[in-house]
Amino acid sequence: MAEQAEGVAGAFIVATTGGISPVVLISLSEGRSLPIYIGLWEAISIGSALRGESPPRPFTHDLFAEALKKFNITLTGVYIDSLHDGVYYATLYLIQDNRTTQLDARPSDGIALALRCGAPISVDDAVIAAAAVRKGDLPALADLEDYLNT
């Protein structure tokens, strides 16, 4: 079973024992969140999509979303389906001419594409059980854009 995410709360910076790290926060029901630590460029891309920005030159995710559109392929959903040894896994669900297919993806790439394509994000119940936290239990988060602009 899976739960559809309520949305993407944002891309943030969090201090960890190893230094600072970008994190994307997926909002779930019942005041829970799923923090996924990601790369800086993926966080910048997600933040850009959340703000509805169009960069002067396309990010990789903008390029991929445009290619999907040009080839009449619809991203119907992103499913964050497993977590192994601290690594999240996701699947993209695509349809073209009544033919569906799935692609393995990093969750950060799937999230960046879902935001650009208006596709829902779902999270497997086992992943939620293993990694979701109450919003009040999250570490101190700094907005990524604010952090980069300081």
Backbone angles phi, psi at 110, to 5 degrees: -60, -45
Please answer whether residues 106 and 82 qualify as being in contact, where contact means their C-beta atoms are separated by less than 8 angstroms.
Answer: no
Q: What's the rounded Cα separation, in Å, for the pair 56 and 108?
A: 22
Q: How much is the pLDDT for 61? A: 96
pLDDT < 50 positions in the chain: none
Query: What does the block give as tokens for 119?
Result: 């596709």
Q: What is the pLDDT of residues 109-137, one digit of tens each?
A: 999 999 999 999 999 999 999 999 998 88
Strand order in the sheet with 2-4: 2-4, 121-124, 74-84, 87-96, 99-105
Cβ neighbourhood burial of 7 (10 Å; 0-12, 13-18, 19+): middle
At how many degrees (to 10) do helices 40-50 and 107-117 cross?
20
Please name the amino acid found at residue 49. A
Please say whether the beta carbons of 93 and 100 come within 8 A: yes
pLDDT at 54: 85
Global pTM reads 0.94
Q: What is the pLDDT of residue 145?
A: 87
User: Given this model, what pLDDT does residue 123 score?
Assistant: 98
The pLDDT of residue 125 is 97
CATH number at residue 87: 3.10.690.10
Predicted confidence at residue 19, as pLDDT, reads 85
Q: What 3-state class would DSSP assign to 18? A: coil
- Residue 146 confidence (pLDDT): 84
Range of the domain at 77: 2-148
Distance of alpha carbon 95 from alpha carbon 86, whole angstroms: 30
Where helices occur in 14-123 by DSSP H, the ranges are 40-50, 60-70, 107-117
Q: How many domains does the chain have?
A: 1
